[in-house]
Amino acid sequence: MRILRLFGWLSALVLICTAGTANAVVIDFTGGTAYLLDGSIVVTNNTWTPATDWGATDYYIEQGFVLDFIGEGGLIGDYYGGSNDIIHGHWGTGDYGTMTEIRIFRQDGNTFDLNYFELTSNTDEGGGAASGNEQTYITGYDLSSSQVGPPVLLPPDDWGWTGSNPQVFLGSEFDAIAYASFTVTNAVDCFGMDMFYINEPAPPPHVIPEPATVMLLGGSLLGLALRRRRRSS
């Protein structure tokens, strides 16, 4: 009897300890379902792209989370041709689309912590480099649709998967939100994102060596190779 009680207490303790990490997911836009405006559905697989219709996707569901394009359909798939699924849309303030908002929320309506995501495009020059004038924001809202903190200005980013792909680390104002909303306040054309960390700690910052460091490292490796060659000759 004591063993059964101990097992029950341990089970309850495990449930309590794991409750805070329930629904911890990383949304990478692969393996989810894209619901298209024509009524068809597609499961993303790092190769599919509705290349002939940039606004083909109405909304997308992955691991219990919904990403909804508002004002116009968007795109989810291997848009940049790098065998990597992302989302991409064209703002109504730009030259290519009529999108007014992108919203992400839980399918069951409960709250969640949005800790991190990556930009793949945020430029006022469609298909080109960002100017730095882009005014694109993310804002969190609670279950009553009240704003829970000031909008956060997102960094500019050149078009395409080969850009800098800025990491966006979000603070506690994006904890226990009902949904996050992406909007613009000036002329922005292309906007894309990837890798949403939800109820999951953000990954470490990417470390990109400075050019001088790369040159020094290259010089050191070259010198080491020359020394080895001299010793063996």
d(CA 13, CA 19): 10
d(CA 153, CA 145): 20
Residue 232 or 159, more confident: 159
Residue 70 or 55, more confident: 70
Q: Which residues, 6 or more positions from 225, have their beta carbon under 8 angstroms from its beta carbon?
A: none
196 pLDDT exceeds 90?
yes
For CA atoms 64, 47, 55, 38, the dihedral sign is negative
Confidence at residue 228, expressed as pLDDT on a 0 to 100 scale? 35
The structural domains of the chain, ordered by start, are: 23-205 (2.60.120)
12 pLDDT exceeds 50?
no
220 pLDDT exceeds 70?
no
Q: What is the pLDDT of residues 78-107, one digit of tens each?
A: 998 889 999 999 999 999 999 999 999 999
Confidence at residue 54, expressed as pLDDT on a 0 to 100 scale? 66
Of 96, 164, 82, nearest in space to 124 by CA: 96
**pTM for this one?**
0.80
d(CA 96, CA 117): 24
Of 153, 160, 157, 152, nearest in space to 177 by CA: 152
d(CA 178, CA 158): 30
13 φ, ψ (degrees, to nearest 5): -65, -40
Q: In the predicted model, what is the mean pLDDT of residues 43-52?
A: 81
Please give the mean pLDDT across all residues of the chain: 83
Please give the structure tokens belonging to residue 116. 């991190």
Task: Place 55 in a pLDDT band, splitting at 50, 70 and 90.
Answer: confident
Confidence at residue 163, expressed as pLDDT on a 0 to 100 scale? 62
d(CA 12, CA 18): 10
Residue 165 or 230, more confident: 165
